[in-house]
Structure 1
């Protein structure tokens, strides 16, 4: 994730809505991948200082302040490209849900930013009801009292089905997410990680299924036609295989080839976004300047494959080692508590090559 610069020279960050130096309104312009300041023209319209074009705030920006994306003034849509993907939002009559929705939107927009930078297809269900991408933010409905009994009405499972990514709103509650992490025996569980993982399932359908990549996928990850429900039951009944670290990037990845792909996909997005951030701040580790993995100079190079991925991965190994050491110095858990085996590395390279071939 890059930082941005206001017209006054102040540094801006992706979620910002107001420049703290000059006071101008800020908004993200999705087709430019740019956060810009805006001034009001004589007609009261918002004009971007970045490109001089006229825009309006997304309806979820102007009414709920959970968004900071803009819509071109002559666009018939009230909602931005991100908010148009929402199929279900939290119940706004319930106290606290606005704050949780804001956190969900921030994670979703960070995912979409990276997907845009990687030139991945983002098509909503309004355009393609069958294969389009959508999001549903749902909350557990529990503990309804009937007499002396408490009845659980509904638990929401975070997951993906036919392009619809469902996220349990409780994942935006830090204490609830940490409690679930402990119960599941996980070393890493973040809201952004959920979005990246579930997007992996969506892009498997778009990029791998019925594509020239399917045979290589099955060679690396296994046959996805294996019974998923049986694999799920076996995983939760018996846990991951011994020495799973030698083959998979996480214990959950060992459950089924689909989950192996989604976990590997999520890790690739972790790497790309963090490396872009480090490059923006001109990080160097052991004298090595961290390269931007999705700069305009590197992306779409005809030979952007194994050698460039090796550079990306080497930078990641050095950077993640430094991040973990810094976290330990502050008394925190490792920022990236994973060891990547040769098998997992080959899968990451496959994800990289599929994205570049898109």
Structure 2
């Protein structure tokens, strides 16, 4: 889902803005390149929307149907669903690729692409436009609202049963962590549904207006109210691709842990480099010095600057790749443990 949303940002935002620059004719504005760009743009949007639906369905199965959870919530099933969703999204947007026509022909070179206004007047074109509007975003909006509503209903019912059992066991006064987790799940589901519906509503209204009003998509008159509303809908649609993944990701504890690790990684690597440099200086410039005891003293003195967790992480990591170096520093590794200096004993590790 995150990959599909990233493709939306690449094709819908970055490449579209580059192609919209009127200062020069880039290769992105060539007719055939323009058709491919719009095809990938529409495909990535459909993939993003329908993967959001599949993710919502996955959460519904996980919470509401424990019997089906073991069969459906597997890596193999997830891979099959993702592949089928991508293939169907490409198939859905093939008519758009076919209907696109060149906007200008300069020196026998076709530039830009657009959907001719007479396409929507034909029965086939009107049917294709209506089907595309139903598939994206009418059906996804209805499915997301329905699945989240059923999930919330199941959570509320489970909370009532749990509260009744705790009341019978005279444990109702104590804080219930399970109920708190379920409350957070309800807030998450409501946020996802509201975000998706609100950000897609303008685009949905514009698509439906094409079938009932004398207006056309991809107009060139930027002073036209319908064109302004259409472009605003595209902007909100691109924003939806960002916020869906962000809301789903930030709500997961594993995601937050990985994000913290990414933030800390540069500092941990810097601390490792300082440790290697410290060992190098002690081993080559001051032979015979107790490297372990000196490094431990240095680590304790720097924990207040870089944080205890980073210092302890760096202290557990041996720059030479094995723990033997910490037990027997290179300057005394050849001696037996009985002949170790007092500063290199096990208490100084």
TM-score, normalisation: structure 2: 0.22
Length-normalised TM-score, structure 1 = 0.21
Which structure has the bigger radius of gyration?
2
Q: Which has the higher strand share?
A: 1
